[in-house]
Amino acid sequence: MTISKELFKEKFMDMLTEKYALSVEEASPYDLYTTLATLIRATYAKDWGITRRAYNTTHEKQVYYFSIEFLPGRMMKSNLLNMGWLDTVEASLKDLGIDLEDILEIEPDMALGNGGLGRLASCFMDSIASEGLPGNGNGIRYKYGLFKQKFIDGYQVELPNEWLSRGNTWEVRRDSKAVTVKFNGHAYLKELEDGSLVPIHENPTVVRAIPYDTGMVGYQNGTVNTLRLWDAEIPLEEEINYRSIQQRREIEDLTSVLYPDDSNEAGRRLRLMQEYFFVSAGTQSIIRHFKANGYNLNNIDEYVAIHINDTHPAMCVPEFMRILVDEEQMNWERAWALTIKVMSYTNHTILAEALEKWPVEMLRSVQPRIYQIIEEIDRRFVEQMTGTIDWGIIERTRIISNGIVHMAHLAIIGSHSTNGVAKLHSDLLKNVVLHDFYRLYPSRFNNKTNGIAERRWMQLANPTLSHLLDETIGTSWRFEASDLYLLMNYKDDKKVLHALAKAKQVNKTRLAKFIEKETGVIVNDHAIFDVQIKRLHAYKRQLLNLLHIIKLYLDLKEDPKKKIQPRVFIFGAKAAPSYHYAKAIIKVINELANLINNDESIKDQLKIVFLENYSVSLAEKIIPAADVSEQISLASKEASGTSNMKLMLNGAITLATLDGANIEIRDAVGDDNIVIFGLTEAEVYAYYEQANYRAFEYYESSVELRKVIDALIDGTIPNSSQEGIEIYDSLLKYNDEFFVLRDFADYVAAQEKVAHLYSDQEKWLKMSLINIANAGRFSADDTVKKYAEDIWRIKPNKTPQQVKDETHD
């Protein structure tokens, strides 16, 4: 799909006339944006159709990736890149006096996710299409994306994110593919005259699910897959049953808001309804599609793989059973064998509070038939296991116990594969968290270390470095991420290292300008840009970062002549609206920032910038400019992390605990090219076993630490006494759940090492180069290939070009 400048300009101006009857000079940036978006969509639409028809005619197996979150960010630049149009369009628009960057900024982020989980799903969508794999996304079209974050007086305030208010050019509403989803009511088995039982669902609430499809354009391979997001409406023929505003609102609410919590489950009944809504709509539409295309449901496992992204879509298991058994009259055993072969599940956390559990009463009331099926799955599981193993294991692994439905148990028992998202995480699943299941089904457990869409995080986000890579190692890395390794040949090449420094400087200067524009803070763009960007969560320990900054500040105040390696600490983080403690940390960071940034005596040595409204598009601005990547979660708590990979790819040096994928980054670059500190996972577990962590002892025995902690409550940091006390208490009164005090001294030493390393620029640049060169292994292209081979058993499809070639000869 290449295009000449002339042809593009002609098409673009025609489209502008068609859509708005405007000339380039008359058009607003918004008009230009929608015109370009429409042209892009119209262009890939042909391949979109060819791809779909190719999947149908070749009967290749397809995967459906069910995820309650997708976080694609902006689509325009990514589509241009993947179509092979980016450079031509940029140059053509320039001829017309238009700066492409200005147009790109018009697009609202598609933020239908909270953080890592949703972004992973979107990186996978890009990679699945780019690998030519037959794969589809299935999720919810939330009317409001993740809240917009503002800081008012240093506090996080949440505003609605109306991303659809001006329409969405990328999506296609497919009315003809609507399905109905049933909730509530009463379910029972009715005995017929011949003694057989039929399931009856009485008085259900009936909702119409309408799919909105978005093309997922593969990287210059002609493949365009589909991300299908469902919206809820009142079915016309059911209008009569929705008489009150209250009843109508319930349907509207179903797809209204993304549950804005990350790693903490709640949201309760509405969230459960959302889960069943997209599970049922997606599963029904898959089965309907395959039936309509003449497939035999008895070997549906040869054509369909369904992936359960964390437990939120775990009801795929009973829903698939419901359709096969109730609607298709298949016998239970056959249906169950197929279900297990079709389903696979990824676990993304070991935090107990994030493992989904639903009260029996609530699940039964939201979907009584699904509850019955879960009960039957549970009954058969217990029956099958009884006598083969300890009763204790059965009690701990069964799906329903003490009035609670355990969704992870449902997902594991109902699927053939359970994977973790980094080596350490997968080992912890096998050996600790899911050990009982591992004993039952050892062959179901496997690891798939996360990956990132390196096209977005390098080619789109960092054109400066991308050009340097082209000049140094050629352009093959743009197609094959592992070719980044060619850069290793230049690790001692002064010219290349110098060029690397220049590229980083360009990005830092650009970010510094952005920071000034957004916050008014002027930062020294030659300081170390030290970046921590991720959801605000106690286990991620933004607090440890904060305490270290307080220490640097106190040091500078105590000795005004002291010189430190200048630093700009950059934060980006949203806190769940109900997560009081996380919000307290935001407030204190903001107040400390205010204090330090306005302290004349500190000058250029220290600045803190907390950028509002962290999002995919903000990440694209920050990451290319980062020198230091803060990955400082308590060992064992961060399942993988993915910002660690994005920052490494962009040449930042990782400052990390041995947690999640940090361990694999260390293995990739070697101990000399990463800075590791803190407790190991084994040490953390030893504390748990011996119950012998005493946070207070660290406070008592270290003068330095005591000064830092006291600064939280002694008025050093203005306007934050309440929050300071809350944090102080979490550390000392409640014994510091995430071992911040235990790791403090080690972290300070590691930060001193970072400063020291940075002062030797040549060494630093070499480390940076080695990080870039070794980041290829974290390409999501490779990750999805492994899922495709080991779990989904799907093969790359023919490209539209191949299909065309064949039909022509």
Q: Minimum distance from CB of 351 to ligand GPW (Å)? A: 7
What is the footprint of ligand GPW within residues 409-428 (CB under 6 A)? 421
Q: Which residues contact 560 (CB under 8 A, 6 or more apart)?
A: 601
Contact 208, 164 (CB under 8 A): no
CA nearest neighbour of 508 among 158, 311, 290, 768:
768
Q: Give the residue, chosen from 639, 708, 741, 803, that forms a contact with ligand GPW under the rule CB under 6 A.
A: 639
Comparison of 348 and 508: residue with beta carbon closer to ligand GPW: 348
* Piece of 87-95, 112-120, 282-290, 521-529 that binds ligand GPW (CB under 6 A): 112-120
Give catalytic status of residue 540 as yes or no. yes
CA nearest neighbour of 278 among 70, 139, 71:
139
- Reported residue count of the chain is 809
Other beta carbons less than 10 A from residue 245's beta carbon: 9
**222: contact with ligand GPW by CB under 6 A:** no
Distances, alpha carbon 636 to alpha carbons 355, 444, 539, 684, in Å: 15, 22, 10, 8
Count of residues engaged in binding ligand GPW, rule: CB under 6 A: 19
Comparison of 119 and 607: residue with beta carbon closer to ligand GPW: 119
Q: Which residues partner with 139 through β-bridges?
A: 229
**330: contact with ligand GPW by CB under 6 A:** no
Tokens of 780: 């999501």
In angstroms, rounded to a whole number, what is the distance separating the alpha carbons of residues 768 and 652?
A: 6
**51: contact with ligand GPW by CB under 6 A:** no
Catalytic residue of the set 449, 642, 654, 657: 642
Q: Minimum distance from CB of 350 to ligand GPW (Å)? A: 9
Catalytic residue of the set 61, 201, 228, 348: 348
Give me the amino acid identity at 293.
N
Within the chain, what is the greatest distance between any pair of CA atoms?
95
**780: contact with ligand GPW by CB under 6 A:** no
Q: Give the residue, chosen from 62, 80, 112, 116, that forms a contact with ligand GPW under the rule CB under 6 A.
A: 116
Q: Minimum distance from CB of 376 to ligand GPW (Å)? A: 27
Q: Within 678-779, where are the H helices?
A: 681-690, 695-701, 703-710, 721-732, 740-759, 761-773
Give catalytic status of residue 535 as yes or no. yes
In angstroms, rounded to a whole number, what is the distance separating the alpha carbons of residues 476 and 482?
A: 9
Q: Minimum distance from CB of 540 to ligand GPW (Å)? A: 8
Q: Which residues contact 460 (CB under 8 A, 6 or more apart)?
A: 77, 78, 81, 620
HEC profile for 475-538? CHHHCCHHHHHHHHHHCCCHHHHHHHHHHHHHHHHHHHHHHHHHHCCCCCCCCEEEEEECCCCH
Q: Minimum distance from CB of 537 to ligand GPW (Å)? A: 8
Give catalytic status of residue 467 as yes or no. no
Comparison of 354 and 393: residue with beta carbon closer to ligand GPW: 354
Tokens of 385: 């296991």
**660: contact with ligand GPW by CB under 6 A:** yes
Tokens of 104: 């790109």
Q: Minimum distance from CB of 407 to ligand GPW (Å)? A: 11
The rounded radius of gyration (Å) of the Cα atoms in the chain is 27
Q: Strand, helix or coil at 339?
A: helix
Q: Strand, helix or coil at 566?
A: coil
Q: Minimum distance from CB of 347 to ligand GPW (Å)? A: 7
Catalytic residue of the set 535, 567, 587, 621: 535
Q: Minimum distance from CB of 638 to ligand GPW (Å)? A: 5
Q: Which residues partner with 305 through β-bridges?
A: 63
* Piece of 111-119, 176-184, 298-306, 666-674 that binds ligand GPW (CB under 6 A): 111-119
CA nearest neighbour of 528 among 512, 546, 544:
512
Q: Minimum distance from CB of 44 to ligand GPW (Å)? A: 28
Q: Give the residue, chosen from 629, 631, 640, 774, that forms a contact with ligand GPW under the rule CB under 6 A.
A: 640
* Piece of 113-121, 429-437, 484-492, 745-753 that binds ligand GPW (CB under 6 A): 113-121
**120: contact with ligand GPW by CB under 6 A:** yes
Catalytic residue of the set 228, 406, 448, 534: 534
Comparison of 116 and 260: residue with beta carbon closer to ligand GPW: 116
Tokens of 540: 């991620």
Give catalytic status of residue 526 as yes or no. no
In angstroms, rounded to a whole number, what is the distance separating the alpha carbons of residues 782 and 791?
A: 14
Contact 253, 277 (CB under 8 A): no
Q: Minimum distance from CB of 674 to ligand GPW (Å)? A: 18
Catalytic residue of the set 364, 444, 540, 551: 540
Contact 9, 89 (CB under 8 A): no
Give catalytic status of residue 418 as yes or no. no
Comparison of 171 and 664: residue with beta carbon closer to ligand GPW: 664
Q: Give the residue, chosen from 47, 109, 126, 262, that forms a contact with ligand GPW under the rule CB under 6 A.
A: 262
What is the footprint of ligand GPW within residues 426-465 (CB under 6 A)? 450
Q: Minimum distance from CB of 272 to ligand GPW (Å)? A: 15
**139: contact with ligand GPW by CB under 6 A:** no
Give me the amino acid identity at 560.
P
The residue written with tokens 């630490």 in the block is: 705
What is the footprint of ligand GPW within residues 290-319 (CB under 6 A)? 310
Comparison of 147 and 490: residue with beta carbon closer to ligand GPW: 147
In angstroms, rounded to a whole number, what is the distance separating the alpha carbons of residues 676 and 601?
A: 32
Q: Within 353-493, where are the H helices?
A: 360-366, 368-385, 391-397, 407-413, 423-428, 435-440, 454, 463-473
What is the footprint of ligand GPW within residues 687-746 (CB under 6 A)? none
Comparison of 136 and 640: residue with beta carbon closer to ligand GPW: 640
Q: Minimum distance from CB of 448 to ligand GPW (Å)? A: 10
Give catalytic status of residue 249 as yes or no. no
- Mark 135-162 as b/e (b = at least 16 C-beta within 10 Å): bbbbbbbbbbbbbbbebeebbbeeeebe
**121: contact with ligand GPW by CB under 6 A:** no
In angstroms, rounded to a whole number, what is the distance separating the alpha carbons of residues 133 and 96?
A: 38
Q: Give the residue, chosen from 24, 27, 270, 354, that forms a contact with ligand GPW under the rule CB under 6 A.
A: 354
Q: Give the residue, chosen from 54, 83, 117, 595, that forms a contact with ligand GPW under the rule CB under 6 A.
A: 117
Comparison of 152 and 352: residue with beta carbon closer to ligand GPW: 352
**642: contact with ligand GPW by CB under 6 A:** yes
In angstroms, rounded to a whole number, what is the distance separating the alpha carbons of residues 199 and 473?
A: 64
CA nearest neighbour of 1 among 45, 35, 55, 53:
45
**263: contact with ligand GPW by CB under 6 A:** yes
Comparison of 255 and 643: residue with beta carbon closer to ligand GPW: 643
**658: contact with ligand GPW by CB under 6 A:** no
Q: Give the residue, chosen from 641, 651, 678, 776, that forms a contact with ligand GPW under the rule CB under 6 A.
A: 641
* Piece of 95-103, 370-378, 402-410, 640-648 that binds ligand GPW (CB under 6 A): 640-648
Residues at the interface with ligand GPW (CB under 6 A): 114-117, 120, 262-263, 310, 348-349, 354, 421, 450, 638-642, 660
Residues labelled as active-site residues? 348, 534-535, 540, 642, 646
